[in-house]
């Protein structure tokens, strides 16, 4: 189920929450992109994220999709998280290289995400481009939430603050106080999740490169991360497309392509 206004904005454990008199709205949080062709600005941008544990093999397929969209005349913005802007890339190097406590890590990742949204993702969507983003907020729920055990309610609150449309989408006053309880939350139209057993991912990664802070985690960490992705899919079934990434690369590519053809985004 999509996060509701209630769950997303409340940082108290559920048992401590006292519903206000007159009832509590449990409507799903509004998302900006109910339909890829219905941006408030009239633009027709498409925002697609790609997820999976390290070693799941998403990179070649993201590049293939960029080519496929460009072959059909679309302008593609290829980007990644953490990263995608000069500031966010600096934060990426810190997050992936330096030891830090989980809250510091979460705040740096969301700071990078805000800068990326303001400077790259929202402007590209306003121009009507296809944004292919290698990881987005589901990774934070999977790695920091499920992997490191960070509080999911706090992640939901940060998600609403950082992905709030206030200050984005043509509003130059990015320093206005945000009202995440009433603003619209930006999230991908589609999240392609490359699902691969952690043991297989570890086997594929072994010896391919110097592992970063996350890649060098034990397989138990990636079991929790994989479960975190499965939980996110359950919470957002309409947004997620699960791909069985244990198949041969060509078979995986055909499966990815079918998702986009099925949505009418590629032919």
Q: Comparing C-alpha atoms, which of 42, 5, 48, 2 is closest to residue 164?
A: 5
Report the C-alpha gap between 4 and 162 in whole angstroms: 16
Q: Rule CB under 6 A: is residue 229 a binding residue for ligand TMP?
A: no
**Min dist. Cβ of residue 6 to ligand TMP (A):** 24
Write phi, then psi, for 11 (nearest 5 degrees): -100, -5
User: Which of the residues 191 through 220 are near ligand TMP (CB under 6 A)?
Assistant: 214-215
Please say which residue, 8 or 201, places its beta carbon nearer to ligand TMP: 201
Q: Rule CB under 6 A: is residue 154 a binding residue for ligand TMP?
A: no
Bridging pattern class, strands 240-244 and 46-51: unpaired
Report the C-alpha gap between 22 and 4 in whole angstroms: 18
User: Which of the residues 79 through 108 are near ligand TMP (CB under 6 A)?
Assistant: 80-82, 96
User: Which of the residues 113 through 142 are near ligand TMP (CB under 6 A)?
Assistant: 134-135, 139-140
Please say which residue, 39 or 224, places its beta carbon nearer to ligand TMP: 224
DSSP class per residue in 230-262: HHHHHH-TTTEEEEETTS-HHHHHHHHHHHHHH
Tokens of 167: 């200050």
Please say which residue, 91 or 164, places its beta carbon nearer to ligand TMP: 91
Q: Comparing C-alpha atoms, which of 162, 142, 165 is closest to residue 236?
A: 142
**Min dist. Cβ of residue 225 to ligand TMP (A):** 8
Q: Comparing C-alpha atoms, which of 12, 2, 5, 1 is closest to residue 153?
A: 12
**Min dist. Cβ of residue 73 to ligand TMP (A):** 28
Kindly give, in sequence order, each residue whose CB lies less than 8 Å from that of residue 34, ignoring residues fewer than 6 positions away.
Answer: none
Write phi, then psi, for 78 (nearest 5 degrees): -100, 120
**Min dist. Cβ of residue 248 to ligand TMP (A):** 21
Q: Judged by CB under 6 A, which of 109, 132, 169, 252 binds ligand TMP?
A: 109
- The interface region with ligand TMP, picked from 63-71, 74-82, 156-164, 240-248 by CB under 6 A, is 74-82
Q: Rule CB under 6 A: is residue 143 a binding residue for ligand TMP?
A: yes
**Min dist. Cβ of residue 142 to ligand TMP (A):** 8
Report the C-alpha gap between 167 and 251 in whole angstroms: 42
Please report, as ranges, the residues that interact with ligand TMP according to CB under 6 A: 54, 80-82, 96, 109, 134-135, 139-140, 143-144, 214-215
């Amino acid at each position: 189920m999509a996060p509701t206004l209630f769950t997303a904005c409340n940082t108290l454990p559920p048992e401590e929450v006292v519903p206000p008199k007159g009832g509590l709205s449990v409507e799903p949080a509004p998302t900006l992109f109910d339909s890829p062709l219905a941006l408030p600005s009239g633009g027709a941008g498409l925002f697609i994220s790609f997820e999976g544990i390290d070693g799941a093999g998403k990179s070649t397929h993201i590049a293939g999709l960029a080519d496929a969209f460009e072959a059909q005349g679309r302008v593609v913005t290829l980007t990644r998280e953490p990263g995608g802007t000069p500031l966010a890339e600096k934060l990426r190097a810190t997050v992936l290289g330096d030891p830090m406590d989980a809250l510091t890590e979460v705040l740096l990742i969301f700071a990078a995400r805000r800068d990326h949204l303001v400077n790259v993702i929202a402007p590209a969507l306003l121009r009507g481009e296809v944004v292919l983003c290698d990881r987005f907020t589901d990774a934070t729920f999977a790695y920091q939430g499920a992997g490191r055990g960070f509080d999911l309610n706090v992640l939901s609150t940060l998600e609403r603050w950082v992905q709030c449309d206030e200050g984005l989408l043509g509003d130059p006053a990015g320093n206005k106080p945000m009202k995440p309880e009433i603003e619209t939350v930006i999230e991908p139209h589609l999240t392609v999740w490359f699902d691969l057993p952690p043991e297989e991912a570890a086997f594929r990664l072994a010896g391919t490169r110097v592992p970063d802070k996350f890649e060098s985690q034990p397989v138990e960490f990636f079991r929790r991360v994989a479960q975190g992705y499965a939980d996110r899919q359950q919470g957002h079934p309409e947004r997620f497309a699960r791909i069985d990434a244990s198949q041969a690369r060509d078979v995986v590519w055909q499966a990815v392509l079918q998702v986009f053809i099925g949505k009418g985004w590629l032919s």
